[in-house]
Every structure is written in structure tokens, then in C-alpha cells.
């Protein structure tokens, strides 16, 4: 039964509606925050600095790849990731599947760790959403995860230094070259970089990728190449590749004039070796997962947990360590991973 408005309450209700409709009513801001119209409607894939063709690993200028983030565990940089919304980062599942969410942070708007600017934005990870079919490093399939942040990134206030990347259509096929960015090792066995680097790498056909990777028994046993959810990129002679510490970072192409996330750095053997392409999770194949779990779109409630299952690593099998039967691993805290203490950070919330 609908209760009719009384004569006494009607003027109050009408006055409230008049203020509300005029746009003058005070509307509470949630901390889910940053979900202002400007921030949520911020255009993806826009680069304030034009990107030329980059070959061989080149340091980049601030704002060239504003979607790039450093994924950090207890202050140590272990992986990369890409911004897809004010409160969401996409990365590789193997980067974040070993400890609980509260131990992770992200740095956005940074390019040079030696000289962090006030434009650097720091956020804690509040939730980790791993693809339900990810099974750890036994078979590196479905290597994708979403990180929910404890507060929204400020796109508008960053003046182009922090911005989201576009996502591909489900039908998109990766061909041509991809641009890979990260702070990983600049050569196999070398040190991680303090400066964000970019490299252009040609995409390899599934046939050639299977041919090269099948030369290694460990690929057949533990990490068979799956062309339905992965793609390879590299050169026959080697020389350019992602490396340890680049895991989870973006592989990008320009689609309809916008920078688009087409791949996530996942695994490979060594770094830039001859006939050893890098393997990337193909983002278009995971759009159902992203739509279902992201604030960007989708209505299916995510399976959320701040604690994730441990990763099982078979003896002798690691993700991107040199010289061994290597798949591509995140840097360890006792490795030469870059460390930034809270007092080194700009006056930005952590």
C-alpha cells in the first residue's frame, strides 16, 4: 500500500526536489572515491607525448605511458601493471598469488625511481581478484588478475601523468608489433632498471611460437603454449624482450588511434634469447572475466578475498630467472628488486 503525502509534508518534499533538480543539493562523496564524472569519464589510451617507434629498450619520458604502474610488495618493486579504471589495475596472476592483498601497493605516475615527483600516486591494494581458472605455475594459463585499490587514482589532477589504458574488443587479434614497458632487468642476469624502459617487439605466429617453445621439455611438461589465450612476441635472433621484473606489465598496440592493452607479460625462457620468444596473456580472451569483475562494466558479483591461494612452484621451475629452465617470475624481496621506503615517497597517501 502506498502512503499518500500529507498536506504538511508536501511543501518540504517539493522544496527538496527543487534543490536536488537544480543541482545544488550536497551529495556525499564516497571514498570509492575519485568516482567523479571527470575521473570516470576520463578518456583511455590518450598519450600526451607522441610515441615514436622504440627498438632495443629505451628510457621513456614522464607521461608517455601514463597507465603503467609498479606493483610493489612490502615496498619492493616486483612486477608491472596497467591502470584500467580509477580503482583498478590489471596484472599477471603469478605476481600476486602468494601473499595477502594488504602487503601490496602500487605506484602510478612514476618513471624514474631515483627522482619521484609529487605527481607520483601511491595506493594500497585492498582486494585481489585472480582468474578462477588460474592454476599457478604448473600450467601458466589464465595468468591475469585485477587489483582493487583502497582509493581512486586522480586522473584529472595528474595532468596526463596518470591515465587509464583502453581494453580491446573480444574479437581483437594481435598482429604486428607490440610495445612493452617495465622496470625489469635490462639484460639477462643484469640489474633491474630505475627508469621505465620501452621496447618494440614483433608478434610471432602461433605456429612459430609452438615450434620454438617445444624445443624445451619443461614447456611440454609444465607450461604448454596455449594459443587460445596467449601470444608470443620476439625475434628469431633475440635481442629484445621483456625480462625479470617486467611480469604483469602491459603489451600495447594502437587501435583506432588509442593505446590499447592487448597483452600482459607472463612467461618465457631467459631474456631476449635466440629462438626464445616471450609469452603474453592475451587480454581480448579475458574480457568476460574483466567485464564481470570490473567497475567498468558487468553485473556479476566478483568472488572477492583479501587472501589468495599460494602458488606451487615445482623444483627447478621459476618464472624468468637466468640460466635455468626459466619461466618468468616476479622479483623476490631478497633479490635485487628495487626498494622504496615510505619516507622516500612524495607527500601522497600510502
Please give the positions annotated as active site: 94, 143, 247
Residue 3, judged by CB atoms within 10 A of its CB (0-12, 13-18, 19+), counts as exposed
Number of other residues whose CB lies within 10 A of the CB of residue 54: 20
What is d(CA 156, CA 163) in angstroms, rounded to the nearest whole number? 8
Judge whether 56 and 199 are in contact, CB under 8 Å. yes
What is d(CA 159, CA 151) in angstroms, rounded to the nearest whole number? 19
What is d(CA 80, CA 47) in angstroms, rounded to the nearest whole number? 19
Write the CA distances from 281 to 91, 269, 270, 313, integer angstroms.
10, 15, 18, 19
- Strand locations in 5-67, DSSP E? 58-59
What is d(CA 195, CA 203) in angstroms, rounded to the nearest whole number? 25
Residue 310, judged by CB atoms within 10 A of its CB (0-12, 13-18, 19+), counts as exposed
What is d(CA 289, CA 266) in angstroms, rounded to the nearest whole number? 17
Amino acid at each position: 500500500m502506498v502512503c499518500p503525502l500529507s498536506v504538511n509534508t508536501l511543501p518540504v518534499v517539493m522544496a527538496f526536489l527543487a534543490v536536488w533538480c537544480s543541482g545544488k543539493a550536497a551529495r556525499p562523496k564516497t571514498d570509492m572515491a575519485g568516482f567523479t564524472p571527470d575521473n570516470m569519464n576520463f578518456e583511455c589510451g590518450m598519450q600526451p607525448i607522441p610515441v615514436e617507434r622504440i627498438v632495443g629498450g629505451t628510457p621513456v619520458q614522464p607521461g608517455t605511458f601514463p597507465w603503467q604502474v609498479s606493483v610493489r610488495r612490502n615496498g619492493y618493486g616486483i612486477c608491472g601493471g596497467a591502470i584500467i579504471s580509477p580503482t583498478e589495475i590489471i596484472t599477471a596472476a603469478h605476481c600476486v598469488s602468494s601473499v595477502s592483498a594488504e602487503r601490496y601497493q602500487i605506484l602510478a605516475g612514476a618513471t624514474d625511481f631515483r627522482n619521484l615527483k609529487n605527481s607520483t600516486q601511491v595506493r594500497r591494494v585492498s582486494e585481489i581478484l585472480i582468474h578462477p581458472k588460474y592454476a599457478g605455475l604448473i600450467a601458466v594459463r589464465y595468468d591475469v588478475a585485477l587489483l582493487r585499490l583502497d582509493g581512486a587514482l586522480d586522473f584529472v589532477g595528474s595532468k596526463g601523468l596518470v591515465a587509464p589504458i583502453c581494453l580491446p574488443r573480444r574479437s581483437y587479434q594481435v598482429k604486428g608489433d607490440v610495445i612493452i614497458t617495465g622496470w625489469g632487468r635490462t639484460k639477462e642476469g643484469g640489474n633491474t632498471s630505475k627508469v621505465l624502459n620501452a621496447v618494440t617487439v614483433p608478434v610471432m605466429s602461433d605456429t612459430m611460437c609452438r615450434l620454438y617453445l617445444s624445443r624445451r621439455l619443461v614447456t611440454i611438461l609444465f607450461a604448454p603454449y596455449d594459443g587460445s589465450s596467449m601470444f608470443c612476441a620476439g625475434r628469431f635472433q633475440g635481442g629484445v624482450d621483456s625480462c625479470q621484473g617486467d611480469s604483469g606489465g602491459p603489451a600495447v598496440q594502437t587501435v583506432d588511434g588509442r593505446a590499447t592493452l592487448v597483452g600482459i607479460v607472463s612467461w618465457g625462457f631467459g631474456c631476449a634469447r635466440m629462438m626464445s620468444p616471450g609469452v603474453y596473456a592475451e587480454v581480448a580472451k579475458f574480457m568476460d572475466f574483466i567485464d564481470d569483475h570490473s567497475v567498468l562494466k558487468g553485473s556479476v558479483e566478483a568472488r572477492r578475498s583479501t587472501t589468495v591461494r599460494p602458488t606451487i612452484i615445482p623444483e627447478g621451475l621459476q618464472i624468468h630467472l637466468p640460466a635455468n629452465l626459466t619461466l618468468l617470475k616476479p622479483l623476490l624481496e631478497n633479490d635485487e628488486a628495487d626498494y622504496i621506503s615510505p619516507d622516500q615517497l612524495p607527500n601522497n597517501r600510502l
